[in-house]
């Protein structure tokens, strides 16, 4: 499996099979990642999501991608920092459950945003540690997955991810 880190918009990853949404409990459009994804997907996504809502922190559900250039959207509800406890476990569950859906659907490429680090207030460095720890835990030889991409909005967030993921990326070379 190839792991990469890119700056950009999670709603504009046309070479990726499944993108991950930093969803809200109602699986509706909103600000940040959820807004970008639902705007690009069109109203059909919210309609499809209705039957799965609400979800709990740490849970993930998979839908079609509608007008997005992908095949699937995996919606994860991250913990609200300082409210949903224990935050590291709930955030790790997002990554674990998303990867479980990736395997179940034999998905070959997936892109994650930095779940919970926007409106939900999770400090980026700590959230990055959680993402890296899940990758170390599940291993990098998942059956179907060939490419895992983290998409960061800002250069400073990208720098943090790069620094923390480099040991793992170098080990895979």
At 72, is the secondary structure helix, strand, or coil? strand
Angle between helix axes 155-172 and 124-138 (nearest 10 degrees) is 20
Is residue 32 involved in binding ligand ADP (CB under 6 A)?
yes
Interaction mask 150-169, ligand ADP, x per CB under 6 A: -x-x---x------------
Number of residues that bind ligand ADP (CB under 6 A): 21
Nearest approach, Cβ of residue 65 and ligand ADP (Å): 15
Cβ–Cβ contacts within 10 Å for residue 143, how many? Answer: 7
Is residue 65 involved in binding ligand ADP (CB under 6 A)?
no
Structural Rg of the chain based on CA atoms: 15
Is residue 68 involved in binding ligand ADP (CB under 6 A)?
no
Nearest approach, Cβ of residue 40 and ligand ADP (Å): 9
Q: Which of residues 80-139 bind ligand ADP (CB under 6 A)?
A: 113-120
N-term to C-term CA, the chain: 10
Is residue 78 involved in binding ligand ADP (CB under 6 A)?
yes
CA atoms of 78 and 21, how far apart (whole Å): 10
Is residue 11 involved in binding ligand ADP (CB under 6 A)?
yes
Half-sphere exposure of 165 (CA within 13 A, CB side): 26
Residues ≥6 apart with Cβ < 8 Å to 139:
none
Is residue 58 involved in binding ligand ADP (CB under 6 A)?
no
Residues that bind ligand ADP (CB under 6 A): 9-11, 22, 31-34, 36, 78, 113-120, 151, 153, 157
């Amino acid at each position: 499996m190839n792991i990469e880190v890119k700056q950009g918009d999670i709603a504009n990853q046309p070479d990726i099979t499944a993108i991950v949404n930093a969803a809200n409990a109602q699986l509706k459009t909103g600000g940040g990642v959820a807004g970008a994804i639902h705007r690009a997907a069109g109203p059909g996504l919210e309609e499809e999501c209705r039957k799965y809502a609400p979800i709990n922190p740490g849970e993930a559900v998979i839908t079609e991608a509608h007008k997005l250039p992908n095949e699937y959207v995996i919606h994860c509800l991250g913990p609200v920092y300082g409210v949903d406890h224990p935050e590291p476990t709930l955030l790790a569950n997002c990554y674990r459950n998303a990867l479980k859906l990736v395997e179940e659907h034999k998905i070959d490429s997936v892109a994650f945003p930095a779940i919970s680090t926007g409106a939900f207030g999770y400090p980026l460095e700590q959230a990055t540690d959680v993402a890296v720890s899940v990758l170390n835990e599940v291993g990098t030889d998942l059956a179907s997955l060939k490419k895992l991409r983290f998409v960061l909005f800002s250069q400073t967030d990208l720098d943090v991810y790069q620094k923390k993921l480099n040991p793992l990326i170098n080990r895979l070379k």
